[in-house]
Amino acid sequence: MVVRQSDVARYAGVSPRTVSNVVNGYVHVSAEVRAKVQAAIDELGYQRSAAARGLRLGRTGLIALGVPSLRERYFADLAEAVVQEAERHELTVMVEVTGGRRERERLVLGGGRSSLTDGALLSAIELTKADARLAAGSAYPLVLIGDRQLDGPFDHVAIPNVEGAHAAVAHLVAVGKRRVVLLGDAKANKSGRLRRRGFLAALAEAGLDPAGELAIPWTREAGRAGMIDLVRRPGARGRAKAPDAVFALNDSLALGALVGCAELGIDVPGELAVVGFDDVEEARYSNPPLTSVAPSVDEIARRGVELLVRRLAAPERAAEHVTSRFELVVRRSSD
């Protein structure tokens, strides 16, 4: 038998409106009445109908999350965190894997699934100013996550890429490293450009120049091959100007670099320190464990979903821009 709010109301001796107010979290209900209604809910096993609530509000209860990939551990972790946070707001998440392709990002941006979803969170790579105009002219609720690819009236949760990279390289300098190489193609996306900016700024503040930059894809295999290539270059090992540290633009590159070092018998961190960015779970279990910049994925997810929920409730409110926290997690690869 399906238990309705009217059944709860009769059991608790209150009006159906009072039960509705308790179920929907309205504050103007006394603690005594709220407790009485909650006891009736528990006793009868009442469960609110998400479908009925959606019909009443004119929403589906489904939101989209657009990410470039789920093979990259950072985005997989982000997706999981968004799903968990959305559940707190009684929302379901539909994940769109864009592959970093503009046409797929535009589909999320313009509400291409708007008949299915109430709004979207999007981590974009390839969008343009023309796409910003498209989104600005749409009533589809949107929150950007990560680097700000678009200028316009959009809610945005930013990642501290410059600050995180700066902290990583400043740490390498503090432990005595002087010849730091940048691993990864900084021109591949805005995150790379911003992290390179932090890399260069930290070295400049220490009066140092980069020991080199390897513009390679942001993958584990590329990190391994790039590390082997770097070390095998003439004069790259056992010389006064040999690199003594690597800052990788993400953890996939850094973990690959650790594999390359192991294959060549390089002592990490004694001969060469390695630092990454993202602090994926594998960083804790690599050999040696990897020092990495840890953006707060849980905070990014929480703030992103909260911004979207507020946008759904008040479509005309001013856009909000927030920056998540980060932590440099120091492990044996650089300590």
Q: Worst-scoring range by mean pLDDT, 24-28, 123-127, 255-259?
A: 24-28
Q: Tell me if domain 62-159+297-325 and domain 161-295 are identical in fold.
A: yes
> CA-to-CA distance for 79 and 3, rounded, in angstroms?
34
Q: Domain 5-48 sits in which CATH superfamily?
A: lambda repressor-like DNA-binding domains (1.10.260.40)
Map out the domains of the chain as residue ranges.
Answer: 5-48, 62-159+297-325, 161-295
Check whether 226 has a pLDDT greater than 50: yes
197: three-class secondary structure by DSSP: helix
323: three-class secondary structure by DSSP: strand
| Residue 257: per-residue pLDDT | 98
Architecture (CATH level 2) of domain 62-159+297-325: 3-Layer(aba) Sandwich (3.40)
- The residue with greater pLDDT, 300 or 126, is 300
Q: Counting beta carbons within 10 angstroms of the beta carbon of residue 313, is it exposed (0 to 12), middle (13 to 18) or buried (19 or more)?
A: exposed
| Residue 66: per-residue pLDDT | 94
Across the chain, the runs of DSSP E, i.e. the strands, are 62-67, 92-97, 120-122, 142-145, 155-158, 180-183, 212-214, 245-248, 273-277, 291-295, 321-323, 326-329
Cα three-residue angle 60-85-316, rounded to 5 degrees: 55
For the record, the structure tokens of 169 come out as 């390289």
How would residue 235 be classed by pLDDT, with cut points 50, 70 and 90?
A: low
Cα three-residue angle 162-166-169, rounded to 5 degrees: 140
Note the pLDDT tens digit of each residue in 78-124: 999 999 999 999 899 999 999 988 888 888 887 666 568 899 999 98
State in words which class domain 161-295 has. Answer: alpha beta
Note the pLDDT tens digit of each residue in 203-212: 999 999 999 9
What are the backbone angles phi and psi of residue 38, rounded to the nearest 5°? Answer: -65, -35
